[in-house]
Amino acid sequence: MNIKGTERLLTILILLAVLCLLLVVGYPIYKESLPSKVRFGVDKSYNTLPFYVALLDTTRNYFALEKVEAELVDIEGDPLEGIKNGAYDVAVVPWYWLIISPATNGDTLKAFGSTEIKSGRSLDAIIVPPKSRITRLRDLSGKRLGYLSSDEYFINLIMVKMTEDVNLRNVKYVRLEAEEVTTAFDDDKVDALFVLDPYRAHMLYLGNTALAEGLAATYIIPNIPYGAVVMRKSYVASENRLAAIRVKTAVEAALSYLARNPEVAKRFIMKLNGLPEESELIMNMRAPEYERLAEIGVKSIENFQTDLVKRGIGTCGIKPMEFLFQRSDFVR
């Protein structure tokens, strides 16, 4: 091969090397510039409110700032099974369901945020219609008590102890869907309702009466872990690590914002549920505590776990901290 041929070959090899170097160095930068497509399981409860705020609050733009292209997917059925099966990448599931099957759930999912119902700001009540003959808890004997299907574990845990406490007999339990709650009395479906906010406040706003409030704090534990904001361990570790890091940053920002501004949480939840934005309704409405990963009430989870074990539900096979991601899981 002559000198000119050798020079051409060397030039081509140098150009190929430069292109390879640009690919190696440039592709990660290019990938970082692309948005992460993430599916969030949502309903119209306080638990999934941070996802709506991160997407819809144009003054914050938490998802946009973190390059998260969010798709909100309506939760159908059990959110725990939905996220395990990949119907969504991020969801909020009741702590109850995580705790009762720790060996399975704790090894598949972990939490990076939480909502908690504090004893001084209870969200639950048993509501009766105007002029009801039910004036005390004992009067629920033989009556129809309605509840939302998503709150079934609440009613089960409360009624076991309350039945013994006030000597209730023959209470008939009626499961309702969200769209049935407001008209449940007018449609003669129930004699009383067990509900949590925002339904508690709305039913009172409509002229109904609270027979008793704060039953969860009385008959379960004072501070109740409500919703766990979860991702699959595999999603964070290998499936889409960059998206997981971005999601954590954005959702934690929304959690922090709602924790500092409970009035914003109330107004958002009213819009989601089509409730009238009346000052009387807002003043009577309560919101749970929103907690980032570092703020999650581990002691409350432990107390809840202990209470369930005493009732013969679940085990203490996994410590509360093992349900949580670690900060190191989200290092770039």
Q: What does DSSP say about strands 224-232 and 90-94: parallel, antiparallel, or unpaired?
A: antiparallel
* pLDDT at residue 24 in the model: 61
Backbone torsions φ then ψ of 183, nearest 5 degrees: -105, 10
CA 43, CA 38: separation in Å to the nearest integer? 16
User: By C-alpha distance, which of 91, 96, 1, 3 is closest to 43?
Assistant: 91
Secondary structure percentages of the chain, helix, strand, coil, to 5: 50, 20, 30
Helix (H) or strand (E) holding 211: strand 209-213
Reported in sequence order, the residue ranges of 102-191 that DSSP labels E, i.e. its strands, are 109-117, 124-128, 144-148, 172-176
Report which DSSP code applies to 322. Answer: G
Q: What are phi and psi of 206, to 5 degrees?
A: -80, 0
User: Contact 180/189 with Cβ under 8 angstroms?
Assistant: yes
Lookup result for tokens 């939480």: 114
- Size (the chain), residues: 332
Instruction: State the angle between helix axes of 241-260 and 49-56 in degrees (0 to 180), rounded to the nearest 10.
Output: 100
Residue 91 sits at φ, ψ, to 5 deg, of: -155, 175
pLDDT digits (tens, 9 = 90+) for 97-154: 988 875 555 568 899 999 999 988 889 999 999 989 999 999 999 999 999 998 999 9
Domain chopping of the chain, boundaries:
34-118+223-330, 121-219
Fold of 121-219: D-Maltodextrin-Binding Protein; domain 2 (3.40.190)
Report pLDDT for 113: 96
What residues does 93 pair with on adjacent strands? 228
282-320 pLDDT, tens digit per residue, is: 899 999 999 999 999 999 999 999 999 999 887 777 788
* Residue among 97, 66, 100 at smallest CA distance from 82: 97
pTM value is 0.87
- The pLDDT of residue 104 is 53
Residues of the chain scoring pLDDT < 50? 27, 30
Q: For residue 279, give both structure tokens.
A: 């000052």
Rounded CA separation 219/99 (Å): 18
Please determine whether the domains at 34-118+223-330 and 121-219 fall in the same fold group of CATH: yes
Residue 167 neighbours by CB distance under 10 Å: 10
CA–CA distance from 290 to each of 173, 174, 227 (Å)? 31, 30, 10
- Assign a CATH topology to domain 34-118+223-330: D-Maltodextrin-Binding Protein; domain 2 (3.40.190)
pLDDT of residue 320: 85
